Amino acid sequence: MCSLETYKIDLKGLKEDETALDFDLNDDFFQSLDGSQLEHGALHVSVSIRKMTGFFELQFHTEGSVTVSCDRCLDDMEQPIATDNRMMVKLGDTYSDDDDTVTIDENEGILDLSWFIYEFIMLAIPIKHVHAPGKCNSAMTQKLEELSGAVRSGEEEAEAIDPRWEALLKLKK
């Protein structure tokens, strides 16, 4: 299992005005997170932390791929991820992430990046993810075509007009 301690940053302890961090994420990272929908992936995350007056600006650059299920055939597929994100953090009385700025407890000064990185990855996955044409599971594609043909023939039967409504259509004309 992956230790999520490496993703905890002591913002108060940063000595330099700009700090660069690199993380390599693998299956252990996703399995360590509670409630993670992703289980497999290989990504590289670069984080640049810039210390400014009263707050911190974090720039995230994520590249790699995750494994998701195809919406069409339900087989696993590689989904490439390439995203840049920005986050503002300030020190305050209590933890809050209600608005665009995350506020962490000033007494503690520790920011856990693990869940933020995970959310940035999830937001980078397209809503619809399907294999390239011809790459889906052929057995599942064949079954899907058979069933969608049955649905179409059912629609054609539904298009036949009920005789009661047919009489009303005659009145309309």
- Taking only the tens of pLDDT, the chain with its 173 residues reads 467 888 899 888 888 889 999 999 998 888 888 767 888 999 999 999 999 888 899 999 999 999 999 988 889 999 999 999 999 998 888 877 777 788 888 888 888 899 999 999 999 999 998 888 888 888 888 888 888 765 555 455 556 677 777 778 778 77
CA distance linking residue 7 with residue 21, whole number of Å? 10
Secondary structure letter of residue 144 according to DSSP: H
The pTM assigned to this predicted structure is 0.77
Whole-angstrom CA distances from 33 to 30, 63, 84, 100, 144 are 6, 19, 21, 23, 34
Q: What angle do CA 70, 74, 80 make, to 5 degrees?
A: 25
